[in-house]
Homo-oligomer: A and B are copies of this chain.
């Protein structure tokens, strides 16, 4: 019964917040007039209230009400009762740290598995995977573990970037980093380019949006899958 939209980013270049994906969200959240927003990934600069306001304004355009989970007395109960869930981007270490700290990682997992529609962007997409280990974020805080929701049988690398053939930089490319991950882990990884997302309907998982995605499996050459493709391993 799982229903997810796993999106590389909330915002694509030259467009407003969520604009590129609003049509999809409108049909996805058709049974939810109110959506619980989890702002924990945001490391500062703006408060959780301010971040929730941004989400509110985005979802106003499709007539959905947004409620910040940080305003709820019992976040666990709020998740269980939710009609829809949106987890925004920021820093994945912080998001995972806080989900463990508030002791709601397991409830969030159960809520997704029972079929509550879940939409995640960037860090919120990352945690739908088996682990958060293919995040691009800086480890600004030490989480209780790297294990995440496991709502899909792979990991996400959001904001995927192709190597720049003209680069003089000696740091690792994204592809090299994911290959390093596969020296120690067998979980497949999907590199999701900005503007692409995965729509999950239980075991039906489809790549959507503008771009192909890059798939990395252990001991295999990386390959592309076109938008519209079914995803299976």
Contacts and interface: CB of A to CB of B under 8 A. Distances in A.
A135 interface: yes
A138 B183 contact: no
Given A138-B134, A138-B181, A161 B169 contact: yes
Copies held by the complex: 2
Contacts of A233: none
A180 interface: yes
A170 B183 CA distance: 28
A177 interface: yes
A102 interface: no
A184 B139 CA distance: 11
A132 B45 CA distance: 23
Contacts of A14: 168
B185 A140 contact: yes
A104 to B, nearest CB: 20
